[in-house]
Structure 1
């Protein structure tokens, strides 16, 4: 077959064009999308392209939805539409299968009869609306199908609470850190994808119950949870606000530094002046001496009235900054709160003050990583009725990484600060940088 003569009649949307390279370059992908993004069209065309390019004999690919009727309604028409212009394609309506000119086959199936897939192999599998598919369908049936050909899998869907899809997404985030060439996770919210116009999205928000809107269009796994400290709509509102330098001129300038040193966590420098938070500096695998030098340079630029550093991993940063002549305050996250009757420890206090700051009109840089960090922390109350946060170790185990950006911002609420440099040069903000 002359591969150059085969052209799939598909023009991806800009957001789909962002997704395809990730599906091409990773064996296991977890794709979380809002409604009407076009994930099924994206997945069907990914299946089709991989099937046409496969040089192995008798290649087999599967699109699987929770129910066969649903799979036929969602994907079968797309499979036929995009294969119709191709030469020598055979369509089997009874089996919901197509045979391509190179002999590869694509089946459209339902997970409601998974035993029908036992005993075969697969070069690639798409599992759509994974939140509605029983987890053992993949572990007991689909995963063994991928062994002989070292096949790939795409898990995709829209959140439906903290269920098996949520757990898979969290595990995939950790796997992506351990094996970045093998695993990939992507989250595409309606307010970021560009698929739904802002005016239409605003109408949807007005017409749709809050929990459903956050879940279906903002990809919020915690929408139905009652113990999330900072809901995503509060974060999105903050991301839509900004203040001019004149509006925050007389507010104190505060810097939070959350060192991570080596490992998977991120070292973060966050600057805030009053209600305006600026884009942070983010570093990976940076030793404390180098981070201290970066922080010193940023202190000279920002000229903060207060600098707070996490004492957990930041001892070297604190000592070095003091050696350089800077006044910094070390903050033990597990230390006592300034308001011991309200918060169980310093960490809960800082996050609680940050939550109140958002409600009062705080403005955030619109960074996906920051949004995710802020919205994943849960809370409860101890025996004395004081608020406490989910332990950081448990949070990292659940979500795959520590909320480092949010912790750095929370550090700017470690203690009250008075402005000293109201007459200094206006700060334009950091350039967002990941190293």
Structure 2
């Protein structure tokens, strides 16, 4: 008797393991935001092989266009082994038959696997797939998922969406959903984090892009393809954060001791908005280093204030600034009460008008943070924070002051408010108190409103 182990003659990399663990525990929805050459399709092929052996059914591997399928998947050869990728993932010992013309494999246990195109999803009418891989979903027809989702919901099937980013589109919106929904698996891995390329190789790739495409376009291509920057080409003349600032925020922070730990808290005001807690360290050189970003939506005030208090105490936050507009005031009072004895200094924030160059305190906070970022003093990892900061635009009001783009306009384009960016900016506005500060029932004002850290 012949025994076959799946994945077959293949070992996943460290950053790929959580993906396999998620499905081993019964997961059903996954989004992989992985940069070039990190093995997106390979992990999906091997995962499908395990699933179709475990649960007999029909499984699809869907490319953006049917015409791409043969070259990209069916006939594709692994340059390291010289074998077809489908032969590596689906060993011949478990197959019953292969239909080359229809790019279809039947298996001995009754399962069927086929390569399809999202541009031809209407031809799949009447099928009942148990699992679907949407490869390079950023380039796929989003209606394919709209049509196929009810089928998978009915039969408890699974779906995987993998892609390199292509600006802000249906893939990034789905990724943002997966990032905040605990039922989904979300993974964002950049080339600089995966260990597949050396720093020297990445530096050369970036230099080659710039040499062939010019500084702006070349850098944008590199940031999009290798650093998963969905705003790589979104920067315009009226962007608050420059592309250079965005690149610097993705670098590794200095190994310096923290001066204090701060938290910016943005509360949801409209349905679909997120409650966001952004926690960061201010280092001794005044750098701001992201520690944790937590977001949730659709909960009542009791859950929200309990969740905020839990995060602030778990991560030993020293100072917290919470949005006091709307429902913020009562929630802040309750959070403060829940954190009695934790020595956390709280402050309520209001976006009031100013008489200076900036029309509001929040506008000034964004520009202060942008200047810090450009000087190499801000270090972030969360892609949603980076994305929203990079997409923030400014304009001028009737007084000639600089103001941020109206949130109504943002909501028309993005569907939600820039909650993640707002929370990060609030955290950056906190002026650290002395280490020996002790909360004695007072409400000390510590938020930086007229202070320029640079």
- Could you tell me the TM-score, scaled by structure 1's length? 0.75
Give the conservation status (yes or no) of the 8 Å contact 2:359–2:397: no
Within the candidate set 265, 289, 311, 2:324 is matched to: 311
1: CA distance, partners of 2:52 / 2:2: 12
The structure-2 alpha-carbon separation of the partners of 1:73 and 1:256, relative to structure 1 and needing over 3 Å to count, comes to: same
Tell me the residue number matched to 2:203. Answer: 202
Instruction: Name the CA distance, whole Å, in 1 between partners of 2:345 and 2:14.
Output: 47
- The aligned length equals 397
Alignment of 1:22-421 (within 5 A): 22-24=22-24, 25-55=26-56, 59-76=57-74, 77-140=84-147, 142-146=148-152, 149-173=155-179, 176-177=180-181, 180-181=182-183, 183-208=184-209, 209-227=218-236, 228-230=239-241, 234-238=245-249, 239-242=251-254, 244=256, 255=262, 257-258=264-265, 260=267, 265-273=275-283, 274-280=285-291, 285=303, 287=305, 291=309, 308-312=321-325, 313-314=328-329, 317=332, 320=336, 330-333=348-351, 335-337=352-354, 339=356, 341=357, 343-364=358-379, 367-368=381-382, 372=386, 375=389, 377-384=391-398, 385=400, 386-389=402-405, 391=407, 394=410, 398=414, 403-404=419-420, 406-411=421-426, 414=429
What's the offset of the Cα at 1:64?
1.1
- What 5-or-longer segments of structure 2 have no aligned partner? 75-83, 210-217, 296-302, 438-454
**Secondary structure at 2:126's aligned position in 1?**
coil
**Change beyond 3 A, Cα 1:138–1:254:** closer
- CA distance in 2 between counterparts of 1:338 and 1:354 reads 20
Deviation at 1:62, TM superposition (A): 0.6
Change over 3 Å in CA distance of 1:34–1:292 after alignment to 2: closer
CA distance in 1, matches of 2:340, 2:44: 56
Deviation at 1:362, TM superposition (A): 0.6
Please state how far the C-alpha of 1:145 moved relative to its aligned partner: 4.3
What's the offset of the Cα at 1:129?
A: 1.3
CA distance in 2, matches of 1:90, 1:387: 64
CA distance in 1, matches of 2:428, 2:205: 35
How far apart are the structure 2 equivalents of 1:192 and 1:399? Answer: 30
Sort the Cα spacing of 1:326 and 1:224 in 2 relative to 1 into closer, same or farther, 3 A.
Answer: closer
Given that residues 30 and 160 in structure 2 are in contact (C-alpha distance below 8 angstroms), is that contact kept between their aligned partners in structure 1?
yes
Please identify, of 83-92 and 219-228, the stretch whose mean Cα deviation from structure 2 is larger.
83-92
Match of 1:19 in 2: 19
Residue in 1 that maps onto 2:77: none
Q: 1:350 to 1:68 in 2, by over 3 A?
A: same
Distance 1:279 1:124 in 2: 36
Over 3 Å counting, the alpha-carbon distance change for 1:23 and 1:200 in structure 2 is farther
Cα 1:423–1:265 shift into 2, 3 Å: closer
Alpha-carbon spacing, 1:26–1:242, altered in 2? closer, same or farther (3 Å): same
Deviation at 1:381, TM superposition (A): 0.7
Deviates more, 1:222-231 or 1:154-163: 222-231
Distance 2:169 2:312 in 1: 41
Give me the CA root mean square deviation.
4.1
